[in-house]
Structure formats: C-alpha cells, structure tokens
Amino acid sequence: MQPAAARRERAGAAMANCLQEWPEPVVRVQALAESGLAAIPSRYIKPPCQRPAAPLLGQEKELSESEMSIPVIDLGDLLLADDGGAATEAVAAACREWGFFQVVNHGVRPELMRAAREAWRGFFRRPLPEKQRYANSPRTYEGYGSRLGVQKGAILDWGDYYFLHLAPEAAKSSDKNWPANPGNCKEVSEEYGREVVRLCEVLMRVLSASLGLDESHFQRAFGGAECGATLRANYYPRCPQPDLTLGLSPHSDPGVLTVLLADEHVRGLQVRSPAGEWVTVQPVRDAFIVNVGDQIQILSNSIYKSVEHRVIVNAKEERISLALFYNPRADIPIAPALELVTAANRPALYPPMTYDEYRLFVRTKGTNGKAQIEALKGQASPAS
C-alpha cells in the first residue's frame, strides 16, 4: 500500500485532471418541466428497483405511524445551558437508531430561515438565460448545476441546484459566483450560513459528549475553526411521471453533518428506516432536519451511522430546499477516535483518509448509496 502522503497527492491530481468539464451538454430540468412535455426523457428514468412507489391517483396519502417516527428534538434547554441532558440523550438515540432527526428551538430565527428559502426561490424563477450565466463545472461545482458526477451516459436526477462555499473564510465563494438577483440573496444566505454553522458547532459538542469524549473532540478532529460549510439550494420542478424518476438518488452524505431546511408545503425527503423501508419525512414548521454524514460514521467507528436518503418529486408542485453541509478541513486525515477503538471488541474499521480523498469518489461517480464508505470498511491496518 502506498504511503498516505502519496495517496493524497494522487487524489489531488485525479481531482484536477478528470473533472474539467461535464462529459455531455447539460440540460436544465426546470426548462424540461416548463416545456410542457408529457413524458420524461429516458435519461431520467430510473431502473425499476430504484423507482418510488406509484403515487395514489388524486389522493393525499394519510401519514402512517412510520412516517411520523423521525425523532423531533427540542434544543431549547441545551442552548440556554440549563439542563441539556435530555437533549443530549435524544440526539444520541436518534444517531444510533435513525441517523436523522429534526430540531426545534434551535436558535436560528424563523424569519431568517424563510428569507433564505424565498431568496433562492426567487433565483430559480429568474429567466433561464440569466441563470445560465452562473453555470457550474465539475471542477468546483460552484454555481448553477443540474447533475452530479461525470460519468458519461449516467441516469440523471430530476432536479437543479445552486452550490456555494460559505466557510472557512479562505474558501468562500467569490462575489462573481453569487447570483445578482434577487439582490438580497448573498447577504441573507451568508447570515443564514453563520447561524446554521453555530448550530452545527453545538451539535458537535453534543455528539462528542454523548460518546464519552471531551466536548471539543469532534470539532478538533474535523479541523476546528477551519471546518468547511457549503450551501446547496435544491430545486425540484414538477414532473409528469414522478413514479419513474427521483429528484436525488439514494446516497449518504460524505461530510460531517447536513442541516436541511425543507420546503414548508411539499414533502419529498425519504429516509431509509432502521427496518430498511423508505420513510417520507414530514417537516415540522420552523425545524431543521439534521443527518449524520459519513465522516461521523468514520470518527465514531460506526457507533453512529450515516443513512441513505433520497428525494421524490411531485406531479403538481415544485419543491425547494436548502442543504448546509458541514465538512472537515479538506487535508486532515480522519480515522476512528482512539478512545472508541479496542483491539479485542471494537477494532478500527476505517483507514485514515482526508476529505479531499474521500469526496473524489462522489465527484466522479455521483450519488451511489453508501458504496464509498462500505468499500472502506475493514480496510484499517492493525496499527491504525
């Protein structure tokens, strides 16, 4: 096996060499949807085993008990430094059982949440030629996009997005990468990002403590103040055949934490339940949906697990959501915490790997379940 430094250098070279441009012309899904087509192009039709269940014709499905079971956690006492024990226990239980939970009383102003979501809704309603000025490439993904991964001929998802870097300061997207309209988009998104990053830092302390580690352990291991934050505004247009495609294919998130501000009116996020079934999440008003990323699964030595999720689309309604991804500093090797490793009962399951190395898989192949982290499992050397 090559030394870690050589492996990291090779990953950097691969990132630079193979991700220059998209392999074929990019088609905007919103433009397809607005063209009035009655059937979706074959490039968006998923294999039968990946398609969502056929929707009930003209009927609104009643929520089953399982669809209400994503934990909802009140962070109020925790943020007031009062008695956060119950919230810590609830977060730990949610991470063990689901990998997903919703948080209320989280400290981010509801009016700021709504303003950020509406600013991006305003962008996606701008004329296509204006949006095209911000077309992205796979070199950085910054800007207006409609696909993930660079495999030619891949089956695509029914959605567009806008991707930006918010933190750390040295990595922030420049002014030219931000849309000029709506005029408040950059200002409100950056304020929103700062508030959500603070929430992520609180959750880092909670997760560390819940595993019996020093409160600062997770934050320190992932890069301290140099942790990254990126924002992806997701736009899922109406789809004439929602039972044949997906807005976003099944995947787990490669980073540390994802904090999602879902659409207030249209459900779409589905999570793989502990029993293996797809569960549709019903967002609580003014709540965030939080999920564990692959890096927490690695650092916790699989005590906490990232979970597959996907997005379904709707024949009648468009849907918008904002996902903030909280990520490690790109060049720090991440490995299971030594305190959570025992040679006899719980050996280290993952080899040290930087986030730059890890995310190369996603940037080349796109979303693909939990293929990346499962491929790494058991590859740690006895000395790790």
* Domain of residue 349, CATH code: 2.60.120.330
Q: Is residue 353 part of a domain?
A: yes
Q: Return the pLDDT at 381.
A: 64
C-alpha of 200 from chain center: 13
Q: Residue 310: phi, psi to the nearest 5?
A: -150, 175
Which residues make Cβ contacts (< 8 Å) with residue 289, sequence separation at least 6? 70, 100, 101, 102, 259, 260, 262, 269, 281, 283
| pLDDT for res 65 | 42
- pLDDT at site 155: 96
Domain for residue 260, yes or no?
A: yes
pLDDT of the residue at 36: 93
DSSP designation for 331: T
306 within a domain of the structure (yes/no)? yes
**Phi/psi at 267 (nearest 5 deg)?**
-75, 155
**58 within domain boundaries:** no
Whole-number Cα distances in Å, 234 to 26, 131, 348, 366 = 16, 14, 36, 16
Q: Where are the beta strands (DSSP E) in 146-268?
A: 160-167, 228-236, 248-251, 257-261
Q: Is 330 domain-assigned?
A: yes
Please tell me the total count of domains within the chain: 1
- What is the reported pLDDT for 9? 55
pLDDT at 53: 78
Give the ranges where the chain is alpha helix by DSSP (H).
Answer: 4-18, 29-34, 76-79, 85-97, 110-124, 128-132, 185-210, 217-221, 294-299, 355-365, 371-376
Interatomic CA distance for residues 50 and 246, integer angstroms: 9
Which pLDDT belongs to residue 19?
A: 63
Sequence-distant (≥ 6) Cβ neighbours of residue 140 within 8 angstroms: none
d(CA 353, CA 361): 12
With respect to residue 14, please indicate whether it lies within any of the assigned structural domains: no
Residue 232: which domain range? 30-36+67-376
Query: What sign for the dihedral angle of Cα 153, 34, 112, 87?
Result: negative
pLDDT in tens, the chain (384 residues): 455 555 545 555 555 555 678 999 999 999 999 999 999 999 999 999 999 976 543 334 444 544 446 899 999 878 776 556 888 999 999 999 999 999 999 999 999 999 999 999 999 999 999 999 999 999 889 999 999 888 899 999 999 999 999 999 999 999 999 999 999 999 999 999 999 999 999 999 999 999 999 999 999 999 999 999 999 999 999 999 999 999 999 999 999 999 999 999 999 999 999 989 999 999 999 999 999 999 999 999 999 999 999 999 999 999 999 999 999 999 999 999 999 999 888 999 999 999 999 988 666 666 677 877 888 887 776 554
- Report if residue 7 sits inside a domain: no
How many angstroms from the chain centroid is the CA of residue 56?
28
Structure-token match 């996020």, residue found: 269
Paired with 310 in beta bridges are 270
The one-character DSSP state at 334 is: B
pLDDT of residue 245: 98
Report yes or no on 62 lying in a domain: no
Angle at alpha carbon of residue 205, lines to 257 and 353, rounded to 5°: 50
